């Protein structure tokens, strides 16, 4: 009894074709995921251009960082906050002996700097530093 094999094997057409609809769906879902998640991720550093100063010194101790952008947006340790949220966060989490480092863009308003200074002074924080670039 001899077994006869077919000389031409027909492939199943449904398996040989690449299904484009699931591929497009996965691609679009990936694109939407990155579009939605990227604004939610806090920037690791805020792009600011600090003013230059002739006299400056390095701060050795660990301090809370308040960043002010050129548009007067406030960040507390790289998280966006309002003035009221900044006041509440400093009231809850600050030790009066701990220092504050203010990194302000040179185009930010002096009004914003004074409001930060007043908040710190009203809470009894005495060690407030302003970050600058050393002028050469």
Does residue 5 form part of some domain? no
Does residue 29 form part of some domain? no
Q: What is the CATH number of the domain that holds 66?
A: 3.30.420.270
| pTM, full prediction | 0.57
Does residue 45 form part of some domain? no
pLDDT at residue 39 tops 90: no
Read off the tokens for 24.
Answer: 């497009």
Does residue 18 form part of some domain? no
105 class by beta-carbon count within 10 Å (0-12 exposed, 13-18 middle, 19+ buried): buried
- Its domain, for residue 71, covers 52-134
DSSP 51: P
- Average pLDDT estimate for 60-79: 84
pLDDT tens, 81-98?
999 999 998 888 777 667
Give how many domains the chain has, as a whole number.
1
pLDDT tens, 10-34?
555 555 566 788 888 899 999 988 8
- Average pLDDT estimate for 117-127: 87
Does residue 3 form part of some domain? no
Q: How many CA atoms lie within 13 A of 126 on its CB side?
A: 2
Does residue 95 form part of some domain? yes
The three-state secondary structure class of 121 is helix
Dihedral sign computed on CA atoms, order 68, 117, 62, 92: negative
Does residue 47 form part of some domain? no
Please state, rounded to an integer, the average pLDDT across all residues of the chain. 77
Residue 64's closest CA among 134, 8, 135, 128? 128
117/90 Cα distance (integer angstroms): 12
Does residue 32 form part of some domain? no
């Amino acid at each position: 009894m001899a077994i006869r094999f077919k000389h031409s094997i027909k492939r199943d057409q449904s398996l040989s074709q690449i299904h484009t609809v699931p591929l497009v769906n996965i691609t679009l879902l990936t694109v939407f995921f990155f579009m939605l998640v990227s604004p939610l991720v806090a920037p690791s550093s805020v792009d600011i251009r600090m003013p230059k100063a002739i006299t400056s010194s390095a701060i050795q101790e660990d301090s809370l960082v308040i960043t002010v952008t050129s548009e007067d947006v406030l960040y507390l340790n790289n998280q966006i906050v309002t003035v009221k949220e900044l006041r509440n966060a400093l009231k809850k989490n600050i030790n009066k002996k701990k220092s504050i480092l203010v990194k302000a863009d040179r185009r930010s308003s002096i009004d914003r700097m004074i409001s930060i200074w007043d908040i710190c002074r009203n809470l009894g924080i005495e060690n407030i530093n302003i970050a600058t670039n050393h002028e050469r």
